[in-house]
Each structure stands twice: as structure tokens, then as C-alpha cells.
Chain A
Amino acid sequence: MNNPLDRLVIEAGKIILGKERTIRLALACLLARGHLLIEDLPGVGKTTLAHLLARLLGLNYQRIQFTSDLLPADIIGNSVYNREEGSFSFHPGPVFSQLVLADEINRATPKAQSALLEAMEEQQVTVDGKSYPLPKPFFVIATQNPAHQIGTFPLPESQLDRFLMRVELGYPDTRSERLLLTGDDRRALLLRLEACLDQGQLQALQAQVNEVHVSNAILDYCQALLAFSRSSPRFNHGLSPRAGLALLRSAKAWALLSGRFQLLPEDVQAVLPATVGHRLHSSADTAADEGAALADFLVESVPIP
């Protein structure tokens, strides 16, 4: 177990049972310096996963529960008059931490949503004309309920695009569920968990992602995928170049997680549903045809050159 990444996966697997693939995807997302969106029904372990990642990576962590009356200042902080000094001083909000868990992001109004999303994009917040840089590394793990639930403000496409990946957890299988029901309280386990990485190690791993070898053959494959998404009548519109970059970056992180320094078509295929699922829209405009099914169709339609 000399690979810290393997240890990460194993430790996480002890808390979130039977979801190794999702855990790996989430880790790959963070290694690729991307923000993660977890979409699923309430109660399947979204928040636990976010907690878990924060603890395993040894990051300081804040949670913002999004509600419909949440204001931007509740996220980024506000300036308060300091009577002793006779001036305004800035009280940073919960966004000033290395890992921010934005819980149920689609319950807040678009105004509050965009305050966070702006921070994600710029890596800094601006209050009263003064910019405050956010800590490094800075991750946002947002969770959201499926759009058809009552009382949600769905994220617009342009803001969805800021998340490198969107993953789903889904129900556990029978064996995992039995273990979960009979085992210890997850929260207690989480508190006992120790960090597997320190910040230096994390940064080193992030740097290693860039060193994964990308051959021409794999670039051909990625381009074929992008081209197909643009020409097929199945999709409303094709994948953007940003989506292409995201795909390649996530795939490299995935390869690194698997302990490889060369990118294989399998890596691209593994991260494809998570990276492009929220960026693809069916031309048929039926909810059932979204996301994962479209990604599967894309993978199955493009032969590996």
C-alpha cells in the first residue's frame, strides 16, 4: 500500500460502501483541480461523501446549507463596522476554506448561486471593491437534488459547465446496504478518520496529473468523440472545447488514480459520463434521455481509432 491514492480509495470505501467507482471519480475530479457536483436524491450519502473527501485530503472545510433565503453575503462574508478602529473590516464568509460543501445548491435563488459560482471561477471574492483571494487549493463540492423535486432553482447550463464532473451516488446494493444497517454510525466513523494526505502531497499529485502521457492515438479518439457529439442528430448541440479539455484532464487524473502514467481509451470512457453528462442535451428533449444514457450512446457510437 505504498501508493497514497490506493489508500485513499480504500479508506473512503470503508465509509461509503459499494461506491468505489463514484469515490474514484470524485477523487479524480479533485486531483484534476475541478469542482464536483453530486446529484442525487436526499439521503443517499452526498454530504457524507463530501465530508469524507475533506477529511481524507486533510483540507479545512466549511459547509453552506443553501436555502431559498440565502444571501450572497452569507456565502462570501460581509464588511462590519468596527467601532474601536472606526472603520469597516471584512468578515470572511464560509467560502474562505479549502473545501466548501455547498449543500443543496439548487434550493437557493440564482443570485446566491451565482455568488458561489463566481468565486469558483475567479478563485477570489470581491467585496466593496476589494478582492480577497481564496485559499489554495480551493474545491467546491456541491450537492443538488434532481431537478424535478419541488422548490428547486435548476442551475443554468453555463453554471453547470463550471463543474468538472457531475456524479450520482445511487442506492447501495443489497450487501452494502446490509453492512450499512448493521455497522457503526457513519458520522462517528468520519470523526475517527485520519487524513491520508497532507497538502504538499496533494499538490504533488495534482502536478503529476499533468505528467500523464497523452499519445496522438488518444487525442484522435478524444477528437472523434467531440466531432461525433457535434454531428450526431441525437444531441441538441455538440460538446464545447472546454468540455474537451475537461474530459482530457479528468481522464488523466483517472489514469493517475489507477497508477498509470499513460492515458488509455478506457480512462476516457470511464470519466466520460461524469464529465460530459451534464453538458449534453438530447435533441429529443425527453428527460429520460439525458445524461448518462447520452454519454453511453456517445461511447458506443465512436469506434476507438
Chain B
Amino acid sequence: MIPASCTPLSRVQQYALIALLTLTALPHVLNIDSRISALFLVLVVYRTLAIEKSILLPGKWLLLLVTLGALGNVLMHYPILLGRNAGVALLTSMLALKLMEMRVRRDVHILVFIGYFTLVTQFLYRDDSWLVLYALLLLFGLTAMLVESSRSTASANLIRPLGVSLSLLVQALPIMILLFILFPRFSSPLWSLGAETGAAVSGVSGNISAGSISRLSRSPEVAFRVDFNGEIPPPAQRYWRGPVFWFSDGKNWNADENEELAGADLISLGQTVDYSVTLEPTPGSWLYALELPVKVPRDSQLRSDYQLIRNTPVKRRVRYSVSSVLDYRTGPLAEKERQKGLQLPPGITPRMLDLVTGWQQQSRSDTALVLKALDYFRQQDFYYTLYPPLLGDNPADQFLFDTRRGFCEHYATSFTLLMRIAGIPARVVGGYQGGQVNPLGDYLIVRQSDAHAWAEVWLQNKGWQRVDPTVAVAPERIQQSIDPNLINDIIGAPILFGEIDSGLLRAMLNQLRWGADALNASWHRWVLGYSKESQVYLMRLLGLGFLRGPKLAYAMVGVTGLFILFLTLTLLYRVRERRDPISSTYQKFCQRLQRRGLVRLAHEGPKDFAERVINKCPELAGSVSAISSLYIGIRYGRQDNKPNRRRFNRLVRGFRP
């Protein structure tokens, strides 16, 4: 007889398994060298062809050759076999090779388990919610595969194994939740396989020049999401402050990360807004907050120019709570700040000086001069465009007088420069402006396309005031977001702003997009955001505050163990329940004989067993035959009555072989 594990596989099983495993390895195409993926694909296609023509199945020697080739392929691209990518490359290659070897049921079991492992490795790269759904779906399919291949005969339809698989996964759910809640969280990432290195993150950085923000504006990537505790402020007030740029060499503007800490000289003129931000990885350490932040999140500092800087760079998603005041007055200007706010880069041309002198003559106060400058942008033919013409050695001059086509960074930097020429302390502020409210989740999404730069000037009695010269040119910018899909990439072309489209398909698509983002946001917030702090908080809330560190791990093992024990006992009880009490008493009798080395076989009848026992141990003849004949009478004869049952129980209890 052929052992069950060596049963050959049906065609349907082979096709299903190959499809499932290909899907399992599919996301890794992005992570490993394309030649490894190519080899995987070739092997899988070959194996699929071999289903119909089993003559194609490779023999032992060919398989060895292919294995060596695949190993060579991996070694060629990852010579020292270290790190995440090398491991995954090896795993994918091995998966394909094992597929080549798949002949009997035992191979299916091995393949399914390699598949499970490969699924887990996906999370070394990404932790998106869609990937979790994908992995769950494949887990479901692979488990069904395992169920089906463990059956002695093929199921009539697919519903049966899928049903069993589903019920298994549902049974695993409580354990999963338990492990999720109790598994000790670490402040540092659990594995460091280079997840953060080399990944190009986009975002506002500590250095801007002409074109650096307009480049960002083409990206629909999410920069951060914000949950407000109360009303969401109107778009015109949604200035998300990031780095503050003080220094310029005429082309680049740089931030000062070593500013002093903020003093307590901010005067609030309005209500405080409380909100939490989930910030995606960014190039620097800046945390974004509405102008101006007053409450500082953990692990970060507020500088005197109101930059919010985290102690460590934002290399992975962070979530923080901030409070801001939208109406404010900053205090007096320190001498050091005045000096920094007035320094001029080289490249100030006479035309710039003339322009400013003209304004100075016409206006009596600094405020009037600021308005004059804005009027200049408004009245001259300046255009707001994502594709400004290339600027040469003196971008500010060229922009102001020649090209007059630019994005927000052009306006903000040249305006700041003009203000400094006029003797008004000024600086450039980078960050984001606006953001879209997700109607499905009631939170704000700020994308890279919302990146913005604006200026700040210091005015007597008012302190630092925000001036956004872009508004003078393109007031819509503040009310609406730039839709990256509508960007017209002709140099100098004016920007079209996202209009609400009335098409049904478009509306549905939008709904879907909002829904997906809402799902993602909750995923980040509730699952990925479950940090060490949240764990400690939750434990305290449950009155289990004493569970920390290793104790938490012990608790996890203990509770999970208890849960499994409970399940086992219920299952055992259910099996036992069906048994006649007489039968279990007889079982006890057999167990006692077992201690003497007399084991009753499962298929051995009571009479045969009694005869065998008496044959071996004649001294037990009396009691064994009495018990056996009573058992036979009760269970198989017509003597099933209470006195007999009682007598039987008594006899077995007194039976000491």
C-alpha cells in the first residue's frame, strides 16, 4: 500500500498550488533583482507545462544542475548572501526549485509552509493595509490547499476545503489578537535589515532652491494625515509649518537647525486647536504643525523661530499630538534675529534696489511697503506655474524682471529678498498648505503636492507675520489643492486646480480612493501605531499596569497557553461525552491492565481480551472474567440495569492487578 504522504497529486491541485505560490512571491518582484524573478518565472512556467506533459519533469541530475544554476544566480547578484534582499532572493529561488520537485503530497505540505514563510517576508518591506489583505487572502488559499492535500480523497468541490480553511483561520483569530496585544513592543525596530537605508523619501527638506517644491507638487504621495479634536480649520488657515530658511547664497535657501529654544513670548489671540499628526517618513527631522505650535510633542523641541524639530530624524512613520494657536502675536525681535533676518546674499542688482527704493518713497510704514510689494506681484504679469523656465546665475533678479513665471518658492524667496533690501526682517518658511478632508474618515490628508513655501516679515507691534506672495498671484492655491493629475507639463503653463467632477464614474472612483485612504489611516493608527507607549497605556487601562517588559512576554505565553489548553479540553470533553459511562469504566479497567503490560488493541473485543489476559496471567482469571462478562452483559446483552452497572463500577474500582 502506498503511504498517504506519497499519493500523487491531481492536476487541479498542481495548478492551484502553482498559482497560489506565484501570487505569494509576486510582491517580491519589486524587492529583488529582476534576474532572480525572471528565473522564478521561467521555472514556474516550465513546471506548469509539466503538469500536462509529465515527461518534462526533471530527473535527479537535471534538478541538481538547475539547483546549482539558481544558487549561482543568487550568488552572482548577492555575493555575500547577507541582508534582507539576499535572503528573499534565496527563498524565492528555493520556492521555485521545490516546485520543480513537487510530485507527491508530502511536497505540497512543504511548499505550503515555504509559502507561509514567504508571505511573512513581505512585511520586511512594507506594512500597508492592502498587503495585509493580500497576505490574508493567500493565507486562506494556502491553508485550503493544505486541507485539501491532507484529505484521503479529493473533495467534490472547492467549497469544502475553503470552508475548513476559513473556520481554521477564524479559530486562530483570538490567538492572533492576544498575541498582537501582548507581544512586547520595543522602542527600536525589532529587525534592522536596512529597511530605512537607501529608500528615497520625498518631502520638504532643509534646503530649498528654485524648483525644489514644484518637483514635490507632482507627487500625490501622502505627506501626513491629521486628526483634529474639534473643527477642522478653513483652508486659508492651514499653513503647516516646517523648516524656516534664514540663509541664502543667492540660489539656495538653508534652514538653521541649531536655533535657540523658543521663549515664552508668544501671545495667543484666539483659541487653541488640538490635533494629532501621522507623519510619513521625511528627509529631515521637522515635525509639521499649524502655525504656530504651542504644545510640544514628546521627543521634540520648539525652536525660537517656531520650527518643531524631532530629536531623531523621521525615518519611519511617527504619530504625535500638537496644539497650535492660529491667531497670535510674537514678542519683540532679538538683536541676533534682526541680523539674521536682514542679511543679504550676493547678487543684489541695481534694478532690485531701484524697485525697493521706489516703494519706500511711496509708503510711510513697513506695513504699507509689504502691501506695495504684494501689489507689484498682483499687477505685473506674474504667472503661477509648475514648469518655470530655467533660471541662470541670479535667479531672483531674472525671475522678478525677466521670466516672471514661477512656483511658490520663487515668490516666497524673492519677496523675502525684497523685504530684506527694504530693511524689514524677513525669512522663508517651508511646509505644506491646505490638505483635503476625507469625508469618510473625517481627517485631513496632506500630500506632497500640497508642499508650499511662504514668507514671514517682522513688523513693529505685530511681531512675525505670515505673508504669502503666492496668494497675490494665484488666490485659488489657498482654497484648493493642486490635482497632480491635471498638471499641464508645458513650460510656463498655468496651473489648473482640481475641480469637482460631476461624472458618476469619477465620483465613484473618488469615493473608492477616500475609502481606501480611510482604511489605510485606521490601519496606521490602530495597528501599526500600537507602540510600546500605547501598550503600556492599554495595560494600565485594563488594570494590568504591572505587566511590563519580560512579564508581558510571560503573560502572553501564559494566556495563549491557557487558551489552547481550554480549546484542547473542550475538544477532549466533546469526544468523551459521547462515550457510555460503562465504556469509560471498562477503559479504566483496561488501563489498569496496561500497567501490567497487557494492552488491549483498539479492535480487540472484550471476550478475546479477557481470554488473552487469563492466558498470560492465570492468577487474574477470577476478577478479569467477572468484570468482562459483566461488561459484555451490560454493553452487548440484556443486562443493562442499575444494580449491574453499580456492581461493575465497584468491581473495576476494586480491581488492582
Contact = CB atoms under 8 A, between A and B. Distances in A.
A300 B2 CA distance: 18
Q: Is the interface of B mostly helix, strand, loop or mixed?
A: loop
A265 B638 contact: no
Contacts of B633: 262
A218 B605 CA distance: 11
Contacts of A303: 602-603
B637 A233 contact: no
A262 B632 CA distance: 9
Interface string B578-589: 011001000000
A284 B7 CA distance: 12
B608 to A, nearest CB: 5
A269 B605 contact: yes
B580 to A, nearest CB: 7
A264 B602 contact: no
B190 interface: no
A261 B633 CA distance: 10
B186 interface: no
Interface centre among A269, A299, A300, A304 (most CB of B within 10 A): A304
A21 to B, nearest CB: 14
B577 interface: no
A264 B606 contact: yes
Contacts of A179: none
Contacts, number: 56
Interface residues of A, number: 24
A261 B639 CA distance: 12
A215 to B, nearest CB: 5
Interface in A226-265: 231-234, 261-265
Given A264-B605, A300-B603, A303-B602, A217 B152 contact: no
Interface in B602-640: 602-608, 632-633, 635-638, 640
A269 B636 contact: no
B603 A301 contact: yes
A50 to B, nearest CB: 30
A265 B635 CA distance: 11
A265 B637 contact: no
B339 interface: no
A92 B608 CA distance: 49
A301 B605 CA distance: 13
Nearest to B601: A300
Given A266-B608, A284-B1, A305-B583, A217 B603 contact: no
Contacts of B157: none
A116 interface: no
A209 B107 CA distance: 53
B635 A215 contact: yes
B153 interface: yes
A213 interface: yes
Contacts of A17: none
B604 A264 contact: no
B635 A217 contact: yes
Nearest to B632: A264
A292 interface: no
Interface string B589-608: 00000000000011111111
A155 interface: no
A263 B606 CA distance: 12
Contacts of A234: 1
Nearest to A258: B607
Nearest to A302: B603
A300 to B, nearest CB: 5
B415 to A, nearest CB: 84
A264 B152 contact: no
Contacts of B602: 303-304
B606 A265 contact: yes
A99 B152 CA distance: 45
Nearest to A234: B1
A263 B605 CA distance: 11
Contacts of B635: 215, 217
B603 A269 contact: yes
A98 B637 CA distance: 34
Given A217-B580, A232-B152, A233-B153, A264 B636 contact: yes
5 contacts: A213-B638, A215-B640, A231-B152, A232-B152, A262-B638
Interface of B: 1-2, 4, 7, 152-153, 579-580, 583, 601-608, 632-633, 635-638, 640
Across the A-B interface, the 3 shortest Cβ-Cβ residue pairs: A303-B602, A262-B637, A265-B605
Given A234-B1, A261-B637, A262-B636, 11 more contacts: A213-B638, A217-B580, A217-B635, A262-B632, A262-B637, A269-B605, A300-B601, A300-B603, A303-B602, A305-B579, A305-B583
